[in-house]
Amino acid sequence: KNTRRKRSNDDTSSYSPMFTLQSSNCFVVDKQVQSTFIWSHSIESLTSIELIYHIDTAEISRFSIPVQIRFKHAQTSKEFFTINTYLQFDSDRDFYVVNIYQYIVQINNQSLTIESMINNQTCQTSSTYIIISSTTTIRSKSNQALKSNSKFSLDIYQLKEAQTDKSLSMCKLKTVQIKFEDLGLAYLIIRPKEYKFTYCDGSCSYSTLQQQSQTSMHALLKSILKRKITNIPQTTCVPSKFADDNFLLRQMDGSLEIHPIKDIIVKQCACL
């Protein structure tokens, strides 16, 4: 039996939640509330495994509380080791959290029982979850989209009508890093905590359209017509291809649930 003590401070800000586990049972042993999880997953492609405690009592106001976590073989109950660490309070999301990814990786076994224990609570006042996250293929595709769309950013000196206008920008994919707590959404959106928001911006002038291999004939004709017919709408830079992603959201009853968010990632832009 190996007992370890560690204080964890892992950064999981932009990881995408894949699925959650809820404790299979909860009972009190020697004034300690024990929650049990059954782990039967491959760690391949995973980047974060967080133990979450939502404690529904007004008395708890500490920034961290001690927790003991045991890792056992699910079939034989053989204990791999026990860790004594701390749950850190996330005030924006109103729960305590510790990342146990490094321990699951170290054991590298798809058949585990994970037992967590805290003091001075009951099964009615504490709810436990494990959040499993990853830098998913969806998110990597989004990054690839940024690279593949870099051809939109041609040298502006190549534009015939923009040789003296260095501020002209082609329609292209852009990103901005956002924090949901800054938007007042952290209590609702549990994970990810930060997000690379993608959007489209830039010029859709006739000269710009001539330089873009993705330009449709419709957009090109529309731009030409705009010169002749004033009530033709201006061609604008808009998303033309999307991808989905997963958000872990707090439900009306306080529980946590992963939801696939449709068309949240812009992968490609076009002038339409």
- Identify whether residues 167 and 46 lie together within a single domain: no
The residue assigned the tokens 């404790």 is: 23
Q: Contact, 69 vs 91, CB < 8 A?
A: no
| pLDDT reported for residue 118 | 92
- Identify whether residues 154 and 249 lie together within a single domain: yes
Q: Contact, 140 vs 121, CB < 8 A?
A: no
- Identify whether residues 202 and 111 lie together within a single domain: no
Q: What is the CATH number of the domain that holds 228?
A: 2.10.90.10
Which H/E stretch holds residue 132?
strand 126-134
- Identify whether residues 116 and 206 lie together within a single domain: no
- Identify whether residues 10 and 29 lie together within a single domain: yes
| pLDDT reported for residue 201 | 93
Q: What is the CATH number of the domain that holds 113?
A: 2.60.120
Which H/E stretch holds residue 105?
helix 101-107
Q: How many domains does the chain have?
A: 2
- Identify whether residues 46 and 121 lie together within a single domain: yes
Cα–Cα distances (Å) from 132 to 35, 49, 127, 185, 260, in that order, read 17, 5, 17, 21, 15
- Identify whether residues 172 and 103 lie together within a single domain: no
| pLDDT reported for residue 107 | 94
Determine if the peptide bond prior to 192 is cis (ω within 30°).
Answer: yes
| Helix spans in 129-248 (H) | 137-148, 206-211, 217-228
Which of the listed residues 134, 162, 194 is the one where a domain comes to its end? 134
Domain range for 90: 3-134
- Identify whether residues 25 and 80 lie together within a single domain: yes
Percent of residues, the chain, with pLDDT higher than 70:
78
- Identify whether residues 169 and 78 lie together within a single domain: no
Backbone angles phi, psi at 115, to 5 degrees: -115, 125
- Identify whether residues 102 and 153 lie together within a single domain: no
- Identify whether residues 85 and 161 lie together within a single domain: no
| pLDDT reported for residue 146 | 32
Q: Which residues of 165-203 are buried (b: 16+ CB within 10 A; e: fewer)?
A: eeebbbbbbbeeeeebbeeeebeebbbbbbbeebebebb
| pLDDT reported for residue 167 | 39
- Identify whether residues 130 and 156 lie together within a single domain: no
**pLDDT averages per 10-residue partition of the chain, 272 residues:** 50 81 87 91 91 75 87 95 95 92 94 92 84 67 37 34 50 93 94 94 77 67 77 86 94 90 93 84
